[in-house]
Structure 1
Amino acid sequence: MRITERTPERIAERIPARTPTRITFVPAPVRPSHGSAPRPWAQDPFAQAMRTGRGPLWLRRADGHRHPLDVERWCAPPDAADRSLLARCLLTGRPVLDVGCGPGRLVIELLSLGLPALGVDVTSAAVARTRAGGGVAVCRSVFDRLPGEGRWGTALLADGNLGIGGDPTALLARCREVLAPGGTVLVEVEPRDVDDRVTVRVEDASGWSGPPFAWARVGASAATACAAEAGLAERERWKVDGRAFMAFTRLS
């Protein structure tokens, strides 16, 4: 895509809206038998949803509250809010690491726009879906050794992925490690001020749930504080269609 006006809003307008790509997978495996040890995101309802492209799914807290996971949106082409993220990636022109890429809609779009991008996800079904759609992804944790450490221009934490591991400061510090000097972390935060560190399970409509794991939900104020501890400086805040985002820059 030829960029003539270098503002995120103008660039986002020029990113074409795309129709969904039909991806067919083999049927999902049966649920783990008694005595097996399912892993969060990798052997639970989320993995099955990545194969089918359908929800509904929730993160169920120990107190009974649950937070919806927007599986259908994640498996669809990028929407206007997503394009605001993509535009900022294009402005830098530097390679992008999508942390917790899921089915890969952002990686696939960035590659189609000519920008190097790699997805990282612990769910093999999500990685398979990303690759089937034309993306590039590896199946591992962001805390594992990753390709190109210290050379990425941008790290993405979209779709609530700032919650990975239940410790946003540790996650942002890890993102800082994989960035090149002057690199950027683009983060989706909660649209309201919240700072929750909780234990959750992924649950589907039938009541099937995976194992418990630590998760976090943070708004802009908490994200800024965590980023500062991690050696990142806030650069920008913006909202599109009710979703909230922030940009942080590696200080050194």
Structure 2
Amino acid sequence: MTVTVDPPAWAASDPYAAALRSGRGPLFLRRADGWLLPLEVERWCAGADAVDRAVLDRCEGAVLDVGCGPGRLVAELAARGRTVLGVDVSEAAVTRTVTVGGQALRRSVFDPLPGEGRWGTVLLMDGNIGIGGDPRALLHRMGQLLCPGGLLIAETAPLDLDERAEVQVVDVAHGRARAGEAFSWARIGTPALLRIADRAGWHTAARWTAGERHFVALRTRGARTASGSAGPPRSTAVISSRRPGQTSAD
């Protein structure tokens, strides 16, 4: 299955880019009916917190952070000596990731990427399971990026929902609203994601809640059953030996 998704308009919109540069909101996703979802800009632009670090403890092999935003997870993994690359369509996000000590590419996840088929773990954090508005297509793409038996860790919505919508990023600072152009997004809770993943041939390795955030770990069904629990590793011996500037998962 080939999927082409144009970079969402918010990636270059003033509200999103300005928020990442300043590290501050308020910023929202707005549906056509006016409903607003707050975006946690301050948390994204801070360092990795305890919940983030516990997720990263579960990562295996080389890690690809899809929709890395301002790069807190990439920077944390790099500081641990792990092989890690962030991917984001936002120039401001990539710039900030590099500034905080990570490596990142400005690219859509549906474009050709380094190390396809060789990543040990792919991250879809902060609701990025919604990229492109089609979780089924996104899961298919994740399977292309991961090595056989590789691990996908996705952060899900806190409710049992499966919502597809056209949304805009909106800045409501200073008493006036600025909005980027509309793009497709999805919000999906753990039960709905597991149903989709099961039909697509993924095995549920783990599901958990921490700090009011919800997560799922998935593997291709039948692969690496000995480590199927996707729990925190007993050893973090996977260390990057790459020279600065190398980005493949080799």
| Shorter-chain TM-score above 0.5 | yes
Contact 2:120 2:151 survives alignment (8 Å): yes
TM-score by length of 1: 0.82
Q: Where does 1:75-90 land on structure 2 (aligned, <5 Å)? A: 75-89=45-59
Task: Letter of the 2:164 partner, please give it.
Answer: R
Give the distance between the partners of 2:96 and 2:199, measured in 1 at CA. Answer: 35
User: RMSD value over aligned CA atoms?
Assistant: 1.2
1:148 aligned residue: 115
Structure 2 counterpart of 1:216, from 162, 168, 186:
186
2:65 aligned residue: 98
Give the distance between the partners of 2:158 and 2:191, measured in 1 at CA. Answer: 11
TM-score by length of 2: 0.82
Does residue 197 (structure 1) correspond to residue 174 (structure 2)? The answer is: no
Structure 1 counterpart of 2:212, from 212, 217, 242:
242
Structure 1 residue 62 displacement after superposition: 0.4
Cα deviations across residues 185-228 of structure 1 (Å, max 9, x unaligned)? 00000122111111100000131000001111010111112222
Give the distance between the partners of 1:224 and 1:202, measured in 2 at CA. Answer: 28
Give the distance between the partners of 1:152 and 1:128, measured in 2 at CA. Answer: 23
Q: Unpaired runs of 5+ in structure 2?
A: 1-7, 224-250
Give the number of equivalent residue pairs.
Answer: 212
1:157 aligned residue: 124
Does residue 136 (structure 1) correspond to residue 106 (structure 2)? The answer is: no
1:72 aligned residue: 42
Cα deviations across residues 225-247 of structure 1 (Å, max 9, x unaligned)? 22224332111011111000010
Give the distance between the partners of 1:160 and 1:200, measured in 2 at CA. Answer: 14
Structure 1 residue 50 displacement after superposition: 1.2
2:28 aligned residue: 58
Does residue 107 (structure 1) correspond to residue 74 (structure 2)? The answer is: yes
Task: Letter of the 1:176 partner, please give it.
Answer: G
Structure 1 residue 44 displacement after superposition: 3.7
Q: Unpaired runs of 5+ in structure 1?
A: 1-37
